[in-house]
Amino acid sequence: WMAQAGAGAMLAISAFGFAFYGAIRARRADGATATTMHWLLAAGVALAGGMTFGAALAALPLESLGWVGWTRNGAFVALALAVSVLAPGLLMRGVALGSPAIAFDLRNTRQETGKRRLAALLLGLGMLAVGMAALELVFDPRYKDFPIYALTPVVVGLVALVLARRPAAEGAGLTEKAGFWILLLAALYIPFNETLRNWQALWFSGLCLILAFTLSRVLGGRARG
């Protein structure tokens, strides 16, 4: 447990470091000052990552079967690391979370900045990771583990971005709608299938609901925009 605590502490320190760096860059660029809400959200992301990342690393060899399992779960852990470290810096820079389509606009027809592309890419990867795990638990739940430790910092980091600033209106559409309904229905079905006594099922269901809320905010930004 000492190694897990150390890994979590290092991640939390890194998250705060990127938050401070983002706040300094924002002030130098346009004179913007981070609000108390921004710091609380950054602290929440750092706390979520710090509390779960060590457990995610410890669970990696236990929950990974074969090269497919190692690739899948290793990608989840890598994404947890990326979101935990990058999200605090992005929200301090005032980056609005947008559709994953922004990240894959290779011709840059919307003239998006690298920061917005990065935020959109993190959302797309988060949707893919949580959606993949949710569909597995719906259609083939036997002998499946709940990747709650790896996916918790991913979901917390993404929802922090939509709470920090109104999401971007551009690009949102069918992908976000499909993701929203898949996650919402999975969140309702999985606890019913696993029974309410399964705390991991309830935890994972909560993650699906939070990410569905995040997508609804992105879709709401499109509707208002």
Task: Give residue 62's pLDDT.
Answer: 81
Closest alpha carbon to 193 in 126, 147, 138, 128: 138
> Model confidence over 56-102: pLDDT tens digits?
988 888 877 888 888 999 999 999 999 999 999 999 988 888 888 88
Query: What distances in angstroms separate CA 61 from CA 66, 152, 167, 168, one per listed residue?
Result: 10, 18, 37, 38
Dist. CA 81–CA 139, nearest whole Å: 28
Q: Note down the domain range covering 52.
A: 2-224
Dist. CA 50–CA 221, nearest whole Å: 30
Structure tokens at 156: 């917390």
The percentage of the chain sitting over the pLDDT mark of 90, rounded to a whole number, equals: 50
Q: How many domains would you assign to the chain?
A: 1
> Model confidence over 118-132: pLDDT tens digits?
999 999 999 999 999
Top mean pLDDT of 62-76, 166-180, 191-205 is at 191-205
Above 90 in pLDDT, residue 135? yes
Top mean pLDDT of 2-16, 38-52, 156-170 is at 38-52
> Between 148-164 and 114-139, two packed helices, what is the crossing angle to 10 degrees?
140
pLDDT band at 212 (very low <50, low <70, confident <90, very high): very high
